[in-house]
Amino acid sequence: MNRQSHRQVKQFLLLFVVILAAFLLFLGVVIGNIISPKQLPSLYTKRTTKAMRGSIITADGFHVAKSQKLYKAVVDTRYIDKEKLDLFIALFSIYADIPEKKVRQRLKKRRGSVVLSYDIPQKEAQYLKQLSRELRRFKVFKSIKNPKTGIYTLRALSVIESGEDRIYPYGDALTPVIGYPHKVEENGYTLSKGVKGLEKRFESELEARKEGVISGQRDVLGYMILNKESYIKEPLDGMDIKLTINLSLQLRLEKMLEKMKKKMGAKEVFLTVMDSSSGRVLALASSNRYLPEHIRRKDYPSLNTSAIEFSFEPGSVIKPITFAILLQNKLVNPYEIVNGHKGRFKIGRKTVTDEHKFTWLSAEDVIVHSSNVGMAQLAQRLDGGTFHEGLLRFGFAHKSTPDLVYEKRGSIPPSIKLENEIYKATTSYGYGMRVNLMQLIRAYSTFNNQGKRVEPYLVEAFIDRGEEIKTQHEEPVRVIDSATATRMQRILIKTVLKGTGKAAITPGLVVGGKTGTAHLVEKGRYVQKYNTSFLGFANDKTHRYTIGVVVRQPQKNHFASQTAVPVFKKAVDIMIRENYLEPDIVKQSR
C-alpha cells in the first residue's frame, strides 16, 4: 500500500470516530431526555378557599356586623404587550374604579410583579377576573421564553384573595355594644380580631374555623374545570350570633337619646330594656356611639359599653332595695309612721338632709317621696351581715351578664363597715357603694318577677351552617318571697302616681319606678355635679319589662324627676309605637 492510500485510510478512520462520537453523544442526549423528569405543565390545579368570620344578626334579621372577602390585583409588567398597555390601563381603571393616572404610576414604579390594589371587594374582584380572561383572549398579554428552560410562559392579570374586611352596614347602630375589631396579618392574609364588645366576647365563636379546598383539571389557559371529577371541600366559617335586640327599636331609642342628651346638656344618656321574666335584653342604647370602621380620637370616650363599664354611686334608686331587705326580714311595716325631723337628722357626726322637709310620713312613703332621713333611720334596724348579704343576693358586686366583657362590678361595703351607723345610713340611700346599670336592671327585675332575679342576656343563639343553637342561661334566683315583691311593686307604682316619678305615668299601662340623684366625687370630695337615674318597669296584660335610664352630668337640671324620668317615658312611648306594649285603654262611647 502506497503512502497516499495509507493517509486516506487514516482520514476515513478519523471521520468514522468523529461520526461515532457524535452519534453516541446524540444518543445520550435522547436517552437522558427520556429518563429525566419533565417540566410539563400539570394537568390538575388546586386552590384553597379561606373561611369567613361569622356575622352578628339582630332579632329581626339584620346583619349589623359581617365580613366580606378582599382581593389584590397583581400583574407582571413584562407580560403586557407594550402596544396594548394603554388599553390595559383604561380597562383596569374602569373595572377597579381607580384613576388611570394612579394605575400608570404604579406600573412605572418597577418592572416585574406589581400590586395594583390591595383591597378589592368580592363583587369587583369577580368583574376583574372576567376582565383578565378577556384580556388574554385579545392577546393583551404576550408569552415570554425562559432562557434556561426554553419554555414559554404567559401570565395575565391575577386577582388573589388577600384577606377579609369587617363591615357594619348600619353605621353606628348598636355601638358600643357590638364593639369593634382590629386587623392582623397571618401568612400574608388579613384577618379581623375582636377588641371590644360582642366582637371580643365571642371571638372564639365568630372566628373562621377551617379553610376550604377545590381541586380539578385545568384548561389550556390554566383555569380550573369544574366537573364531577372535581374535589370540593367547603370552608367552615365562624358561627353567626343572633341577638335578642331588635334593630328597629334600638335605632328609635338611640335617636331619642341623642336628642335628650343635647336638650339636657348631658355627658351621656343610656338605657337598658329587659324582659322581666326571661332576662332577654331588648335594647341596650346610648347617646354616645361611633363608626366601628372609622374610629377617631374623639370617639375614644364612647368605646365603652356604659351599661356595664361605667360604675357609679346610685343614690336613691337603692332605697327600694334596702326597703325590700327590711321587709323580707320583717323589720318594717309599710304603714308605720316615721319621723321626718323636718329634713335634718344627725347620725353620729353626719347630718342627713332631705330636699323636702317632712315631719311625719309612713314607711312606704319614705320610698314614694325619697326621704334620706327616713331611710337612714329604718336602715339602723339591719345588722351589718344581713344588710351585706341582702345586697349580694340582689346581685351587686357580681358580674351582671355573661355576654359582655370588661364589666366594672362595683363594690359594696363589707359587713363590718355596715355595722357602723353612718355607713349603714349612707349605703341605705345609695352612697358609699358603686354599681352599674345592668346590675340595677337585674336587681329591679325581682320586683316585677315575683321575687326572682333573672340573668340579663343579649345572645339568643349561635347559627352554625344554618342551624340555630340556643344559648343556655342561669336559672332565675329567688331573692325575696313573692309577697315582698308584690308589696315593693305596689310601692313603686305609688311612687310614679304620687311621688318623684309622676312624669313616667302612661295611661293604660302599669308603670312603677324610683328616681335617683347622686353627687359626683372629684379629688375625694363631693362636688356640684350629678348623675341621675330612673329604674322601674312598664307592664301591659301580657308583657313585663324592666327599664333603666342613667343621665351622666346633666347641665340644665340635676333632678332625676326632670331628666331621667322623661327619658324613661319617651322610651315607653317608643315601645308602644313598636308594639312591645299595648295600653289597656277602653274607648268610652258618647
Note the pLDDT tens digit of each residue in 425-441. Answer: 999 999 999 999 999 99
> What pLDDT was estimated at residue 37?
55
The answer on pLDDT for 218 being more than 70 is no
Asked if 132 and 270 sit in the same domain, the reply is no
> What pLDDT was estimated at residue 587?
47
> What pLDDT was estimated at residue 212?
75
Q: Write the CA distances from 534 to 39, 316, 420, 471, 521, integer angstroms.
A: 78, 9, 28, 30, 20
> What pLDDT was estimated at residue 40?
45
Distance CA 96, CA 73 (A): 9
Residue 460 C-beta-side C-alpha neighbours within 13 Å: 17
Is-contact 503 515, C-beta < 8 A?
Answer: no
Asked if 285 and 421 sit in the same domain, the reply is yes
- Tell me the percentage of the chain whose pLDDT exceeds 70: 89
Asked if 269 and 159 sit in the same domain, the reply is no
The answer on pLDDT for 25 being more than 90 is no
Pick the range with the lowest mean pLDDT from 21-25, 241-245, 265-269, 503-507: 21-25
The answer on pLDDT for 91 being more than 90 is yes
CA-angle at 436, arms to 396 and 376, nearest 5°:
60
The answer on pLDDT for 35 being more than 80 is no
Tell me the per-residue pLDDT of 235-251, one tens digit each, with 9 for 90 and over: 899 999 999 999 999 99
Name the average pLDDT for the chain. Answer: 91
* Run of H or E including 519: strand 510-522
**What phi, psi does 462 have (nearest 5°)?**
-105, 140
> What pLDDT was estimated at residue 44?
63
Is-contact 470 241, C-beta < 8 A?
Answer: no
The answer on pLDDT for 362 being more than 80 is yes
- β-bridge mates for residue 72, sequence order: 160
Query: Domain for residue 191, yes or no?
Result: no
Angle of helix 100-109 relative to helix 85-96, nearest 10 degrees, comes to: 120
Is-contact 55 67, C-beta < 8 A?
Answer: yes
Distance CA 330, CA 378 (A): 12
CA neighbor of 129 nearest in space, from 228, 44, 218, 224: 224
Query: Domain for residue 393, yes or no?
Result: yes
Asked if 304 and 433 sit in the same domain, the reply is yes
> 274 or 36, which is more confident?
274
Query: Domain for residue 485, yes or no?
Result: yes
Distance CA 576, CA 304 (A): 29
Burial class (CB in 10 A: 0-12, 13-18, 19+), 535: buried
Distance CA 198, CA 178 (A): 5
> What pLDDT was estimated at residue 585?
78
User: 130 lies in which domain range?
Assistant: 68-79+88-96+104-165
CA-angle at 400, arms to 395 and 405, nearest 5°:
150
Q: How many independent structural domains does the chain possess? A: 2
Query: Domain for residue 456, yes or no?
Result: yes
Q: What confidence category does residue 588 fall into, taking pLDDT thresholds of 50, 70 and 90?
A: very low
**Count of Cβ atoms closer than 10 Å to residue 168 Cβ:** 20
Asked if 441 and 344 sit in the same domain, the reply is yes
- Average pLDDT value for residue range 277-295: 97
The answer on pLDDT for 447 being more than 90 is yes
Asked if 304 and 429 sit in the same domain, the reply is yes
> What pLDDT was estimated at residue 219?
61
Tell me the per-residue pLDDT of 479-491, one tens digit each, with 9 for 90 and over: 999 999 999 999 9
Of 147, 165, 183, the residue that ends a domain is 165
Asked if 156 and 251 sit in the same domain, the reply is no
CA neighbor of 304 nearest in space, from 284, 275, 280: 284
Query: What is the DSSP track for 256-279?
Result: HHHHHHHHHT-SEEEEEEEETTT-
What is the value of pTM for the model shown?
Answer: 0.85
- Give the three cell numbers for residue 254: 338611640
> What pLDDT was estimated at residue 47?
67
Of 117, 145, 165, the residue that ends a domain is 165
Query: Domain for residue 46, yes or no?
Result: no
Q: What confidence category does residue 4 fall into, taking pLDDT thresholds of 50, 70 and 90?
A: low
Distance CA 512, CA 504 (A): 8
Distance CA 281, CA 469 (A): 18
Distance CA 531, CA 301 (A): 17
Query: Domain for residue 37, yes or no?
Result: no
The answer on pLDDT for 28 being more than 90 is no
**What phi, psi does 285 have (nearest 5°)?**
-120, 150
Query: Domain for residue 41, yes or no?
Result: no
Asked if 468 and 573 sit in the same domain, the reply is yes
Asked if 251 and 160 sit in the same domain, the reply is no
> What pLDDT was estimated at residue 589?
40
Distance CA 51, CA 115 (A): 23
The answer on pLDDT for 174 being more than 80 is yes
> 477 or 23, which is more confident?
477
CA neighbor of 443 nearest in space, from 238, 228, 274, 250: 274
CA end-to-end span of the chain: 153
The answer on pLDDT for 582 being more than 60 is yes
Asked if 559 and 455 sit in the same domain, the reply is yes
Of 126, 143, 165, the residue that ends a domain is 165
Q: What is the CATH number of the domain that holds 513?
A: 3.40.710.10
> 92 or 35, which is more confident?
92
Asked if 535 and 402 sit in the same domain, the reply is yes
Place of cell 406600573: 107
- Give the three cell numbers for residue 545: 319589662
Pick the range with the lowest mean pLDDT from 44-48, 436-440, 521-525: 44-48
Helix, strand, coil shares of the chain, percent, nearest 5, are: 35, 25, 35
Q: Write the CA distances from 454 to 30, 406, 440, 445, 475, integer angstroms.
A: 85, 21, 12, 7, 7
CA neighbor of 173 nearest in space, from 296, 289, 30, 308: 289
Query: Domain for residue 461, yes or no?
Result: yes
> What pLDDT was estimated at residue 195?
96
Q: What confidence category does residue 138 fall into, taking pLDDT thresholds of 50, 70 and 90?
A: confident
Tell me the per-residue pLDDT of 253-285, one tens digit each, with 9 for 90 and over: 999 999 999 999 999 999 999 999 999 999 999
Place of cell 384573595: 161
Place of cell 365563636: 205
Distance CA 464, CA 241 (A): 9
> 12 or 101, which is more confident?
101
Tell me the per-residue pLDDT of 103-115, one tens digit each, with 9 for 90 and over: 999 998 888 899 8
- Average pLDDT value for residue range 387-405: 97
* Eight-state DSSP code of residue 487: H
- Tell me the percentage of the chain whose pLDDT exceeds 90: 72
CA dihedral 464, 469, 470, 473 (to 10 degrees): -90
Distance CA 171, CA 62 (A): 12
Asked if 259 and 371 sit in the same domain, the reply is yes
